[in-house]
Amino acid sequence: MTVQGASRKKLSVSAWTRETSIDVTEGPKCWKHRFGPSLLGLHVAYWAKHENRFPSVNNSTEISQNGKWVGQSMPRVEDPTLLRGLGRFADDLPTPANACHAAFLRSPIAHGEISTIDTAAAAAMPGVVAVITGADLLQYSAPFITGVKVDAPQYALAIDRVRYVGEPVAMVLARDRYLAEDALDAIVVDYQALPPVVDPVAAVDAPALHPGTDGNVLHDRYFRYGDPEDAFATAAHVVEGTYSYPRNSCTPMECFCVIADYDPGADAFEVMANFQGPYTLHTIMARSLKVPGNRMRLKTPPFSGGSYGVKQAVFPYVVALGVAARIAGRPVKWLEDRLEHLAAATSATNRVTTLRAALDVDGRVLALDYDQLEDCGAFLRAPEPATIYRMHGNMTGAYAIENLAIHNRVVVTNKTPTGLMRGFGGPQIYFPLERLMDKAAARLGLDPLELRRRNLVPTAAMPYRTAPGALLDSGDYAGSIDRAVRDGGLAELIARRDSARAAGRMYGIGMAVVVEPSISNMGYITTLLSPEQRERSGPKNGALATATVAFDPSGAISVAVSSVPQGQGHRTVLAQVVADVFACDPGEVAVATEHDTAKDPWTIASGNYASRFAGAVAGATHTAALQLRDRLSLIAAADLNIPPEDVAYGNGRIFARGNPDNSLPLGRSAAKAHWSPLSIPDAAGAGLRETAFWNMPELAEPDEGDRINSSGAYGFIFDYCGVEVDPETYAVRIDRYVTMHDAGRLLNPMLADGQIRGGFAQGMGAALLEELCYAPDGSFQAGTLADYLAPTAMEIPELTILHDQSPSPFTPLGAKGLGEGNCMSTPVCIANAVADAVGEDLTTLPLTRSNLAEILLGEEAPESASASPSTPAPTPTLVDGHALHGSGGTLVPAAPVEVWELLLDDTKLAAVIPGCHALTMTGENAYRADVTLGVGPVKGRFVATVALQDLDAPRSLRLVGGAAGPLGTSRGEGWLTLTETEGGTQIDYTYTVQISGKVAAVGGRMMDGAARALINQFFKRLVSQVDGREVEPAQGLLARLLSWLGIGP
């Protein structure tokens, strides 16, 4: 045994590891005998080669002399791999050589019955292995379990009805993705369109989307805490507002990826997916695949390209791919593309909230009354309706408000199902709450900050139990605000506003006060049940976190967790945490974050969501490391010949407290547990591996009064900002933004700031740019990243970040989550500032230039009488809501009766339909046509239907029809009127058309022009035909050019 002299200097990583290796070569003979010298040589060579493998960490070794890695801005251990392009993301992992590749056929319409699906042509195409429809899936898959028991079964593929644009309808498996997409175009689906419901308010009274449910409100509950009725009855002031939070998404840059395989011998699935948890969904996937959990092995890759909650929503595809692998008899891989992701992955909930506040004369909020209407899209897909309950315990925000009423309704609409999203449920409540606080301040003539101050939870009251049950664990809200006002320069910002306004500019200041929950209580969703229902179903509670720390035979430390990081730097932070426990260099700690449900510890709460890492996962890791250290100390105590309580750790060594000369390398005693298990004290146990499960006793199930501590820790945020609105374009420029966070103890301040900056960028996007737009007909309009507007480096302003650190008394390291907070605070903070700048009550987001213009623009200057005619007034539409309109007219040198006869002649009609390949009669004056339609380079094959109706010979008729093809669907109608004039017949036409599917999703800004072009082609050809002129071939550019001439704008 080597005992280092007292004069020996601090050892570097390389020094001790090399030394350990040399020691081992001098170790027990049997060891040498079994493994031989070559392995030992390799071992030594390994350390020699890798002595600089953590250069950035070693550079910081001086910091560790203070004894603590936690709290330092240590550079990330993940970065050298990622910066070389060597991060192994899901699509970089090996794909089995016999795997086939899946592509999904998706609904182009928002709502409709599937009449028929013809897959024969697709199945016969080159390289196609299988075509799978809902009927095939039904044989192997059960419906997804949902949190609300309703008769609205949902599967990984649509069964007999589609309920949102992008809903998977069929799956092609082929040799490669290109061939799979070729076959998609050959599948013919006949839909019978049903009226879509897009607006949640309209959905309340609309016909049910799901035949088995009584209407579209699938959940409806009132909650009451304190005596809100009395508070409102006696209040000096009542303020009220209705606010609408839009659909948006954090859109990770890496899309979903799944590789699934099925072993019929074991009736077991093995799946790799860039899933992020929560692992409650594992149960749902296994149940849907009709196997027990241990037959649904789920692995995650080492790196994931962002998630922000979104990758929770890969789970339906895990089921789809599992079934596909079972049917195909071979592995199946699917990589989601961006259009699929934007249209159909998931979304934040959009919510309409009417919020009322009762205030006393001094501005104390006596009560809040929320009426929340939550839109979860077409299905309540697990974990929904969690968005509306995640914040339940902290619905009073950062304020001490004793009385609270909540009415929660959850509706389904013809939009993509919602799911986890950074800030989950936060922006939906803080947008109304913090807008209303501004409104209340204005009503009372108080400064908005002063009103907020008067209502804060007092510091002395911590930990504070809110009316709906949250236990706000720590914080000095008033003090944090004071420091933020001082250090962020609010006074200077106000001066900037004053001078800008004096110069006539639109400048405003906004603020937001937010409580940011982290570590979700696994029982919060059961708040939606009545106490009686909860009694029957049994309690759900807690938030188990697990971590494993081990020493391997070389004495090196390994950590494994089920945190499934998506870019947050978990490996770095856990290395810091464990390095502190063993007083070693973080570079000596290897952390694995890829996860395998068959081998790694996990629980339903595992995963990367609800900001649970810093509080729960890092805490569990710390706990496991301490347990391991206690055992190691027993071994070391024997080696050092001292009592265990005298064992101390420092600089990668274990030594005797009070006698540092008596020491040995950290890994030495640890290795002994592997090599000489008979030589260590019995009390140390066998195998130096500790798996800790950490739980929070504070996270009880909801009580009989529906009080729920919905999260384990609660951070505090105070944001304020100054914005200027361009008076001509209404562009919002963020002049300065200050965000103050108290998230307890910061484990790595640099990474904490990175989380804040990322959350801020997404919150700013939600405030000003981002929306998953739907037209009123349910067509989806944000299918590209040129339409879904994530901010770029040009849009993000400077950000001032301030921190307070009030440790949580309930988490092992005193840390709380902080990555979601700015997704909650920033949208409303900016909205408040813009409202202050423009002097209007702003009730929805995003505050795009055009949306602000709609509010701020006065009456428009009319066109002067002498000007040339422009766009005609809109005509009545086929269905309510959004449609494209147009009109035109031409003189034809023929009598109306001759024109009429030509119109009713099907061969003539075939000639006027642009690009018509074949026309068949399907009924009296009704046709089905195979056509190629296009504008410019855009071209697609469609099946069109046309019917002539409301015939009033020879004066007017109506053309009704639609087209469907791989590019999308359209429905429309046109009116023709024939008027006898001198020299012939004046044909006037108007049309209205709706377009849905891919073309609408990716080309929304061109749809009006494209519809106009196509319909003008049609009518122009009609006119030409009636006119007796020969119609040019549809594809002739000259014909197209001619068809354009003389047609109005």
Residue ranges in 961-990 that form contacts with another protein under rule CB under 8 A: 966-967
Q: Kindly tell me which of 364 and 757 has the beta carbon lying closer to another protein.
A: 757
- The rounded Cα 790 to chain-centroid distance in angstroms is 13
Stretch that binds another protein, among 345-353, 514-522, 610-618, 725-733 (CB under 8 A): 725-733
306 binds another protein (CB under 8 A): yes
Select from 417, 542, 567, 821 the one that contacts another protein (CB under 8 A): 567
**Applying CB under 8 A, does 719 fall inside the site for another protein?**
no
Binder among 42, 82, 124, 921 for another protein (CB under 8 A): 82
- The order of strands in the sheet holding 545-551 is 589-592, 557-561, 545-551, 689-694
> Cβ-count burial of 878 within 10 angstroms (0-12 exposed, 13-18 middle, 19+ buried)?
middle
Q: Report the first-to-last Cα separation within the chain, whole angstroms.
A: 92
Determine, following the binding rule CB under 8 A, whether residue 80 of this chain makes contact with another protein. Answer: yes
Binds another protein (CB under 8 A): choice among 503, 678, 867, 918: 867
Site for another protein contains 999 (CB under 8 A): yes
Check binding of 831 to another protein (CB under 8 A): no
> What is the C-alpha separation between 636 and 643, in angstroms, rounded?
9
Q: Which of 19, 23, 92, 402 binds another protein (CB under 8 A)?
A: 92
Phi-psi region of 857 (alpha: psi -120 to 50; beta: other; left: phi over 0): beta
**Residue 466's closest CA among 406, 511, 542, 407?**
406
How far is the C-alpha of 292 from the C-alpha of 288, rounded, in Å? 10
Token pair for residue 1011? Answer: 């519809």
Give the residue, chosen from 36, 85, 538, 697, that forms a contact with another protein under the rule CB under 8 A.
Answer: 85
Separation between Cα atoms, residue 878 and residue 974, nearest integer Å: 9
Number of residues that bind another protein (CB under 8 A): 118
Residue with smaller CB distance to another protein, 737 or 810:
737
Least distance CB 627 / another protein (angstroms): 31
Is residue 1029 at the binding interface for another protein, with CB under 8 A as the rule?
A: no
Beta strands, E only, 762-853: 800-804
Contact region with another protein (CB under 8 A), list: 392-400, 408-416, 905-913, 1007-1015: 1007-1015
Distance CA 309, CA 319 (A): 19
Residue 626 interacts with another protein (CB under 8 A): yes or no = no
Compute the least distance from the CB of residue 93 to another protein, in Å.
9
Biggest alpha carbon–alpha carbon distance for the chain: 119
> CB 729: neighbour CB atoms within 10 A?
11
CA 499 to CA 733: how far, in whole Å? 16
Q: Which is nearer to another protein, 556 or 773 (CB)?
A: 773
Helix runs in 889-934, H state only: 896-903, 906-912
Which DSSP state fits 615? I
Residues between 397 and 456 that touch another protein (CB under 8 A) = none
Say if CB 604 and CB 283 are below 8 A apart.
yes
- Asked whether position 42 contacts another protein by CB under 8 A, the answer is no
Structure tokens at 186: 């050959």
Tell me how long the chain is.
Answer: 1049
For residue 253, give the 3-state DSSP assignment.
Answer: coil
Per CB under 8 A, the list member of 75, 508, 517, 667 interacting with another protein is: 75
Nearer to another protein, 87 or 553 (CB): 87
**Do 313 and 419 form a contact (C-beta atoms < 8 A)?**
yes
Q: Does 55 bind another protein (CB under 8 A)?
A: yes
What are the b/e assignments for 373-389, b being 16+ CB within 10 Å? Answer: bbbbbbbbbbbbbbbbb
In 3D space, the residue among 382, 486, 339 whose CA is nearest the CA of residue 143 turns out to be 382
Q: Does 1009 bind another protein (CB under 8 A)?
A: yes
Task: Give CA–CA dist 485/621, Å, rounded.
Answer: 37
In the complex with another protein, the residue whose CB is nearer, 93 or 700, is 93
Min separation Cβ 878 and another protein, Å: 17
Cβ of residue 1041: shortest distance to another protein, in angstroms?
6
- Closest approach, Cβ 992 to another protein, in A, equals 13
- CA separation for the pair 293, 273 (Å, rounded): 16
- Per CB under 8 A, the segment of 20-28, 188-196, 223-231, 1002-1010 that binds another protein is 1002-1010
Considering the complex, what minimum distance in angstroms separates the CB of residue 163 from another protein?
21
Q: Residue 528 or residue 1007: which is nearer to another protein going by CB? A: 1007
Q: Alpha-carbon dihedral of residues 925, 926, 930, 935, nearest 10 degrees? A: 80
Partners of 277 in the beta sheet? none
Residue 491 as a binder of another protein (CB under 8 A): the answer is no
Beta bridge partners of 219: 410
CA distance 1004 to 882: 12
Residues 329-348 that bind another protein (CB under 8 A): 337-340
Q: Which of 56, 294, 533, 981 binds another protein (CB under 8 A)?
A: 56
202, 446, 556, 790: residue in contact with another protein (rule CB under 8 A): 790
User: Residue 113 to residues 50, 159, 645, 728: CA-CA distances in angstroms?
Assistant: 63, 9, 73, 47
| Residue 135 binding another protein, by CB under 8 A | no
Backbone angles phi, psi at 760, to 5 degrees: -65, -45
Pairing of strands 545-551, 557-561: antiparallel
Looking at residues 871 to 930 of the shown chain, list those that interact with another protein (rule: CB under 8 A): 871, 884
> Least distance to another protein from the beta carbon of 935, Å?
6
Q: Check binding of 598 to another protein (CB under 8 A).
A: no
Report strand pairing: 296-299 vs 268-273.
parallel
CB 80, min distance to another protein, A: 6
Site for another protein in 167-186 (CB under 8 A): 177-178, 181-182, 185
Q: Which is nearer to another protein, 347 or 633 (CB)?
A: 347
DSSP-derived pairing of the beta strands 732-742 and 800-804: parallel
- Give the contacts of 535 (CB within 8 A, at least 6 positions apart): none
- The DSSP element (H or E) to which 1022 belongs, if any, is helix 1007-1027
**Distance in Å, CB of 896 to another protein, minimum:** 30
Question: Contact letters (x/-) for another protein, 930-959, by CB under 8 A?
Answer: -----xxxxxx-------------------
Would you say 398 or 964 has its CB closer to another protein? 964
208, 442, 789, 943: residue in contact with another protein (rule CB under 8 A): 789
Q: Tell me how far apart the alpha carbons of residues 443 and 235 are, in angstroms, rounded to a whole number.
A: 13
Binding region for another protein (CB under 8 A) out of 263-271, 348-356, 357-365, 863-871: 863-871
Choice from 13, 1002, 1015, 1031 touching another protein (CB under 8 A) = 1002
Among 2, 533, 679, 729, binds another protein (CB under 8 A): 729
Which of 167, 199, 254, 804: binder of another protein (CB under 8 A)?
A: 254
Amino acid at 809: P
Please report how close the Cβ of residue 1038 comes to another protein at its closest, in angstroms.
7
Put residue 663 in one of left, alpha, beta given phi > 0 → left and psi -120 to 50 → alpha. beta
Among 492, 531, 1028, 1044, binds another protein (CB under 8 A): 1044
984-996 vs 332-335, strand pairing mode: unpaired
Q: Is 1012 near another protein (CB under 8 A)?
A: yes
Is 868 an interacting residue with respect to another protein (CB under 8 A)?
yes
Does 1007 participate in binding another protein (rule CB under 8 A)?
yes
Q: Which is nearer to another protein, 507 or 737 (CB)?
A: 737
Distance (Å, rounded) from C-alpha 141 to C-alpha 145? 12
By the rule CB under 8 A, 824 interacts with another protein: no
- Taking the least distance from each CB to another protein, the nearer of 178 and 222 is 178
